[in-house]
Amino acid sequence: MTRQAWLNGVFIAADEARISPFDRGFLFADGVYEVTAVYGGQLIDLERHLDRLERSLRELKFGTMPDRKELEEVHRKLVEQNGIEEGYIYLQVTRGAYAGRDFVAPDKPRLTTFLFGEKRALIDTPAARNGSKIVALPDIRWARRDIKSVGLLAQALAKTEAKARGADDAWLVAPDGHVTEGASSNAWIVTKDGQIITRAISNMILAGVTRHALFDSLGQRGVKIIERSFTLEEAKEAAEAFTTAATGLVTPVVSIDGVALSDGKPGPVTRRVQKLYYTAIGADVAKAAPWLGG
Ligand SMILES: Cc1ncc(COP(=O)(O)O)c(C=O)c1O
């Protein structure tokens, strides 16, 4: 089946969607995006993703917002048209295309808005089952990581380097030796005395929607999360580690720079967090993730 997309008000086969090479998204990475998970045919935390989209656009002084009701509707239609039980909807908004290449942004942009849907396993993946091997790399990104910018070159290079080194993913490390986040996820550790730690929200990291959802789920069970930054050394000495993201959900980390955590297997706290999150998004864990042991 051809993937269905939506471009500037029109549903269209994804392969037929066309935008101008003068689009500011192409010329200047002048745009933002969101990725919303779909599980059981339901969009997970769509409202929080749209809140963050609007925040990103406000921070970049777009001045014009896409119509939120329309975006909600398009998300739902694309889930349907693409027959997505498990997967995601991608949304990108740029400041649009103009006659030439001018650094100065227009006052009232004509937005380019593009969405597409894709089927993809979110729960039953090798990384969720067996964990991922991480390499730590310098965080060379710009200073506004709180904005979900389409300027993802540093992340793309980090993931490519991780793969070249035989790892699954990268964690990024600030010049002060503290881990900021994963290349496309938030980073968490569990200390040997069982404390669950993730970095506090600031301009240094993206405020993950999955991160936020875990605060809710764990909070409801009285489990405390400590928000503070941690060094790469502390992460390597941790009992466990994991990442959170809309498409990776909760992914165990089993090694960092070749140093095994939890005997190189996903740890018990991480397993409980996976179970909790899968349940929160409506999964029947015994069926969807039998490797979690019911
Ligand atoms: C740099 C970065 N941090 C964190 C996240 C996790 O955010 P979310 O849970 O909203 O997907 C992402 C997701 O793409 C990301 O790219």
Domain harbouring 30, CATH code: 3.30.470.10
Q: What are residue 267's phi and psi, to 5 degrees?
A: -85, 165
Q: Residue 294's pLDDT is what?
A: 56
Residue 253 and residue 157 share a domain? yes
What is the domain extent for residue 17? 4-119
Residues 15 and 85 in one domain: yes
- DSSP H or E stretch at residue 155: helix 153-164
Helix (H) or strand (E) holding 170: strand 169-173
Q: How do residues 123-151 score in pLDDT, each as one tens digit?
A: 999 999 999 999 999 999 999 999 999 99
- What is the set of active-site residues? 148
Taking the centre of ligand 1 as the mean of its atom positions, its distance from the CA of residue 82, in whole angstroms, is: 24
Last residue of a domain, one of 119, 140, 160: 119
Q: Using a 6 Å CB cutoff, which residues line ligand 1?
A: 35, 181, 184-186, 206, 208-211, 244-246
Q: Tell me: do 162 and 86 sit in the same domain.
A: no
Between CA 27 and CA 76 the distance in angstroms is 30
Pair 10, 67 in one domain: yes
| pLDDT, mean over the chain | 97
Specify whether 130 is located in the same domain as 98: no
Question: What is the rounded (10 degree) CA torsion for 178, 161, 254, 193?
Answer: 0
Q: Do 77 and 202 share a structural domain? A: no
Do 43 and 65 belong together in one domain? yes
The total number of structural domains in the chain stands at 2
The answer to whether position 294 is within a domain reads no
d(CA 110, CA 133): 42
Average pLDDT rounded to a whole number, residues 116-121: 97
Q: Is the pLDDT of residue 1 over 90?
A: no
Q: 0.95 exceeded by the pTM? A: yes
Name the token pair of 238. Answer: 């941790």
Question: Are residues 176 and 255 both part of a single domain?
Answer: yes
| Ligand 1 pocket: which of 53, 157, 181, 186 to mutate (most atoms within 8 A of CB) | 186
* Within a domain: 112: yes
Which domain CATH number covers 152? 3.20.10.10
Strand 179-182 versus strand 169-173 pairing type: antiparallel
Helix (H) or strand (E) holding 68: helix 68-81
Give the closest residue to 178 by CA, choosing from 118, 124, 230, 129. Answer: 230
Residue 160, domain member (yes or no): yes
Closest CA to ligand 1's atom 16: 184
153 located within any domain: yes
